[in-house]
Chains A and B, each alone.
Chain A
Amino acid sequence: MENLKTKYNRRSFLKSSALAGGGLMLSASWFASAKAAEKIDALNLPEHWNELTAYIKITPDNVVKILCPNPEFGQNVMTSLPMIIAEELDVDWKNVVVEMGPHDNLKLGPQFTGGSNSVRMYWKPLREAGAAARQMLREAAAQTWSLPLGEITTKAGVLYHPGTKMSGKYGDFAEKAATMPVPKDIKLKEARDFSIVRKSKKNVEGQKIVTGKPLFGLDYRADGMLIAMIQHPPAFGMKLKSFDAAETLKMPGIKDVFSLKLYEDGFEQGGFDTRTFNDLLVTVGKTTWEVMNARKKLQVQWEPIGDTKETMAGRSGKQEVVIPAGLESTTTQMEKMQEYAQKPAQQLRKDGDPEAAFRNAAVVIERTYTAPFLAHNCMEPMNFFADVTPERAVVAGPLQAPGWAEPTLSKLLNLPPEKIEIQMTRMGGGFGRRAYPQFMYEAALISQKMKSPIKLIYSREDDMTYGIYRPMYTATYRAALDANKNLIGFHVNGGGIPENPVHANRFPAGAVDNYLAEGWQIPSNITIGAFRAPRSNFNAAAEQSFLDEVAEAMGKDPIEMRLELLERAAKNPVGKNNDYDAARYAGVLKLVRDKSGWNGGKDGKYSRGVAAYFCHNSYAAHVVDMVTRNGEPYVERVFSAVDCGVVVNPDAAVNMVQGAVVDGIGNAFYGGLVHKDGAVQQTNFDKYRLIRNQEAPKSIEVHFVQNDLDPTGLGEPPFPPVFGAVANALYKTTGKRHYQQPFKSESASS
């Protein structure tokens, strides 16, 4: 370690500390103006911290500060990741202060929130960091006491030598420990010895959340900061032609109106540098309301854009991508998908002889499913702060993957990465949307042009109509049954605008002798990206509805039918590349069957639907209990079973599964974005229906499979199967199968 004592650096972090276990607020704000209003730090926030590994700092008073490496968007990593460190460090959680780390990929790892990766990718490195620091403290005590290292033990932040009854707090040895080399190959705890992990801990930012402290990007402020908003074209397929800002510039508080290009022609974009519109028409002023009003006075001419080329960084070098011209409408998109579904598709996987199986089948079941574009609708609209000067850039805001954004930002601003500081604010939701940093680049370019700190704000309408959406999908499933109603063939042909959703190597691949998976895609100028469990969120809806229908045709209970297939996949799998573990998959089905008291599709007043899915290395199953309330189908009760290995923070994990269930019901019933001549028809929450409190179930009972396996994903896996379970319960409730999402608009129109 070069840096023995690290001066607490007020500039480089978000000052968002709170005692993890208690409610004490430490001085905690990046707002110069808000400092006086903050409560005085009860612990006298120390000036000096002894740094033990990049994640851990300890004061002489035995306060332990743990840096959270990953951006927080509601998955509670600011609590769960420090818990993992505290577990191996062996400290009292009550003495832990958590702070969002600086953006520093070299010291703090990938710092990426997405793909249900946070806990699973940091599980081992954070345990090692905690264990290494504990070992350094033991070394320091051993040297100070001139006793053998092997005889030094720890408990809850105190070092002991049982033989001599010597003891001392970590804080007493932290300065010396910080001089020790970071050890390697340290033994980690056995799962049975965990005392912090697996014990529910409250959200470390809970107190700040309920008191309205500035935590989010939209709350960020700096002296002299201006507000910027972008007027984007009224439709995908359009671009800026010309504008007259005379009236806008006369409005109070307005500083400037200008257009600028996001990417120059030929600019090599990174993999997540999806752009919606490239020509930005920017209004800058003093306050948000003034800018919102003034931009309404802009006189703008838009024009259709032709085919455009984008240069994307690909795995094998640069890649030219053509974005087609055109003003797309949902009706024509649907027609086009139907047309493509008839064309020969790309074969993704083939086992056995599916053609023969279908030719020889006694019964063939064929069903087609569709799902619309979805907007993420994070409650905090997209925004970013930027302060760019010729010498350096400070940007701050809600972003899931700052490390991916930095190289592009560096190129756009012509500043080396070491002159760029990215601060990670708490995010008011993400769901994949904030993995795409376009809004951060926009803010930085606007600040550079204005030579002033600015905050870019998307209005709700901007956010919804200027989005990077969940794609539109369709899939046709076919099942072949023999005369004894055995499943002898399975075929999926899926496609979408603009991507194919099919996961060819997932269940029921591996469980059926004759299997064919195919896919296709239709290029589009409507921008798409990751949305909570990408592709899976459609596949689980379609495939799990289809399997329900196949089970019915086979005369089998839907859970037993799946379990039989999974038993086959476990004992004698077809093919070699099956992604899933059939025993774990069966495990969640059995757990949800037992916990829900499953006995077929009815339970008293309830019509029941079941579905399960595997994604992000985890397994989830739901039983959804539906009733008819005021003439409408209503999910009143849900049972969920999840296998995600070790559950780090159980109560928060339950919260996340419950949230995924509510999110799934809402999107299955209501979610959907419609285009007309390229224009998004839903512009705000009056037209885009989100699930509300009285539409959420009365109870969602969550059960985790208990095992000691390393943690796998949790934020996404429970979400996709909700769609299938809702569809299957709807069938039992209404007697009608639902193939088109959103289900409620279909029932309204039929």
Chain B
Amino acid sequence: MAKYTLKINGKPRQIDVDPATPMLWVLRDHLDMPGTKYGCGIAQCGACTVHLNGTAVRSCQLPVSAVGNEEITTIEGLSDNGDHPVQKAWLEHDVAQCGYCQTGQIMTAAALLKINPTPTDEDIEAGMSGNICRCGTYLRIREAVKTAAKN
């Protein structure tokens, strides 16, 4: 076990865990932040996507010991009031069916738009293909990313 002070959603958070613990489980089990989802544990589905210094990463493959002073943003910290342009676009297009994968989709989309504010259709499809939606809401995900890009 080891003690860490992490910067999560702009606040310092202290934890005492096994250094190999993936951030996914630090967030979910130790910090009670369940918006980041467990889907596969092997970086195949994207449900656990968070931002590490603004870049989308799979928190299931990010050991807590590798985080250091870098800034982690989770869905809980993406916006103060759930009003990030991507979140608003997701509501406008009523994207979700079961909703389980959508926080990961939103985190991937928000990071994508940060590095590429005017993505082409191909950019969106390629950029969002690491996130599986078992309900098949991909068409709405694309439309929501386009709407968010406009705002």
A interface with B by C-beta (< 8 Å): 23, 31, 33-34, 73-76, 200, 202-203, 205-207, 209-216, 218-219, 221, 227, 252, 287-290, 292-293, 377-381, 426-431, 459-460, 651-652, 655-656, 658-663, 666, 684-686, 690-700
Contact = CB atoms under 8 A, between A and B. Distances in A.
Given A74-B98, A211-B35, A379-B101, A662 B136 contact: yes
B139 A696 contact: yes
A460 B40 contact: yes
A196 to B, nearest CB: 16
A292 B40 CA distance: 13
Given A209-B96, A428-B99, A651-B94, 7 more contacts: A202-B91, A288-B25, A288-B28, A379-B101, A659-B97, A659-B136, A693-B141
Interface string B135-151: 11111111000000000
Given A211-B35, A212-B36, A692-B129, A289 B22 contact: yes
Nearest to A380: B100
Interface of B: 1, 18, 20-22, 25, 28-30, 32-42, 44-45, 47, 74-76, 82, 87, 90-91, 94-103, 106, 121, 124-126, 128-142
A290 B20 CA distance: 10
B101 A459 contact: no
29 contacts: A74-B99, A75-B97, A200-B94, A203-B94, A210-B96, A212-B74, A212-B103, A216-B34, A219-B34, A252-B18, A289-B22, A293-B18, A378-B134, A380-B37, A380-B98, A428-B37, A428-B100, A428-B101, A431-B134, A655-B97, A659-B135, A662-B139, A684-B41, A684-B42, A685-B45, A690-B134, A693-B124, A693-B125, A698-B121
Contacts of A700: 139
B87 A210 contact: yes
A691 B29 contact: no
A211 B134 contact: no
Contacts of A214: 34
Contacts of A381: 38-39
B54 to A, nearest CB: 18
Identify the interface centre among A427, A652, A694: most chain B CB within 10 Å of its CB. A694
Nearest to B88: A210
Nearest to A286: B29
A221 B36 CA distance: 15
A720 to B, nearest CB: 15
A206 B96 contact: yes
B139 A697 contact: yes
In the A-B complex, list the 3 residue pairs whose CB atoms are closest, starting with the nearest: A212-B35, A662-B136, A428-B100
Contacts of B101: 379, 428
B96 A203 contact: yes
Given A252-B1, A655-B140, A460 B39 contact: yes
A211 B75 contact: yes
B32 A31 contact: yes
B136 A210 contact: no
B93 to A, nearest CB: 9
A659 B94 CA distance: 13
Contacts of B97: 74-76, 655-656, 659
